[in-house]
Amino acid sequence: MDPHAPPLHGSLPPGGDLPRGGPAAGCMSTHPPPIVEIRDLWSGFRNGGVETLIHKDLNLSIAKGELLSIVGGSGSGKTVLLRQILGLETPMRGSIEVLGRPAAELTHAGAASRVGMLFQHGALYSAFTVLENIAFPLRELKALPEDLVRDAVMVKLQMVGLDPSHAHKMPADLSGGMIKRVALARALIMDPPLLLLDEPTAGLDPDRSDAFCTLVRSLHQELGLTVVMVTHDLDTIYEISTRVAVVADKHVIVNAPPREVIAFDHPFVRNFFLGGRGLRAMELLRLHPTDV
């Protein structure tokens, strides 16, 4: 790998619809209704009487079938944004619509069939076995027979690349990569159209992290999922995302395919993507020409 590889600017499609600065709302036009629509979002928290603003007039719209990476510096409120999309936190101002309904209603009954979430540390129920963890949303319906539930779990378990023999293990007996896979299987058990991932490859070794990326990409294609993920991992961003939204200066400064984001002129983008690590990871862009 040559760290002094020529920057990719030359290979960019000429012109293109590069978003100009300012609150770059999704430059997608509106013909299919977006899966997630965030308008004029303000959020912050109060700590000892001091109010800290994280988001100010943040706009983001995520179209169906995207595989969007949200990137931003530490403390730029990426995870907060994800939690707000899930309806776990209420923003100070602005509106978030997920699948055409306010995000606050997302956590109501039946949420598992609308959205799946992979938490950073898996958030498996430690009192349940792998099988019971994945089956949990299905069993909560309290109508499907046990053998059908078990069959559905076994299919999902193998879809995420785990061996059926792990079904009876407890989460405490699993490795980090396996926990993520089980958590992914649980998030997908009801085949939700929207999948959110919080740092999906954090804590995985490069091998497993590659395997996980391949898995997410193939699931995205096979199931027609819309995937939103928060990540720091440049390899993951280049390898699988179809779009990248950069959160900086309290709003989304750019939301575009990876190649266009790299060309965007902003100090954060330059540091993040065009630093030493960024240049090395960019090799991937050439190895895996971004599909779509």
**Other beta carbons within 10 Å of 85:** 25
Shorter beta-carbon distance to other proteins: residue 52 or 158: 158
Torsion of CA 227, 185, 86, 46, to 10 degrees: -110
Nearer to other proteins by Cβ, of 222 and 265: the residue is 222
CB of 236 to other proteins, least distance (A): 24
- Closest CB 263 distance from other proteins, rounded Å: 35
CB of 162 to other proteins, least distance (A): 11
Q: Using CA of residue 238, residue 242, residue 248, residue 253, what is the dihedral sign? A: positive
Rounded Cα distance, 273 and 280, in Å: 10
* Nearer to other proteins among residue 91 and residue 171 (C-beta): 171
Distance of closest approach, residue 151 Cβ to other proteins, in angstroms: 5
- Distance in angstroms (rounded) separating the CA atoms of residues 241 and 216: 10
Which amino acid would we find at residue 88?
L
Least Å distance between CB 128 and other proteins?
Answer: 9
Judged by the rule CB under 8 A, the positions of this chain that interact with other proteins are 110, 113, 126-127, 131, 138, 141-144, 147-148, 150-152, 154-159, 164-165, 167-168, 170-172, 189-191, 222, 224
d(CA 52, CA 67): 30
From CA 149, how far away is CA 144, in angstroms rounded?
Answer: 7
8 burial type by CB count under 10 A (0-12 exposed, 13-18 middle, 19+ buried): middle
In the complex, the smallest distance separating the C-beta of residue 181 from other proteins, rounded to whole angstroms, is: 14
Our CB check for other proteins shows the closer of 31 and 142 to be 142
Q: Please give the helix or strand (H or E) that residue 72 lies within, else none.
A: strand 67-72
Question: Is the CB of 112 or the CB of 245 nearer to other proteins?
Answer: 112
Judged by beta carbon, residue 95 or residue 218, the one nearer other proteins is 218
How far the first Cα of the chain sits from its last, in Å, is 26
Nearest approach in angstroms of CB 123 to other proteins is: 11
Q: Which is nearer to other proteins, 101 or 286 (CB)?
A: 101
Cα 154 to Cα 117, 163, 179, 197, distances in angstroms: 20, 9, 16, 22
Do the beta carbons of residue 37 and residue 61 sit within 8 Å? yes
Do 86 and 196 form a contact (C-beta atoms < 8 A)? yes
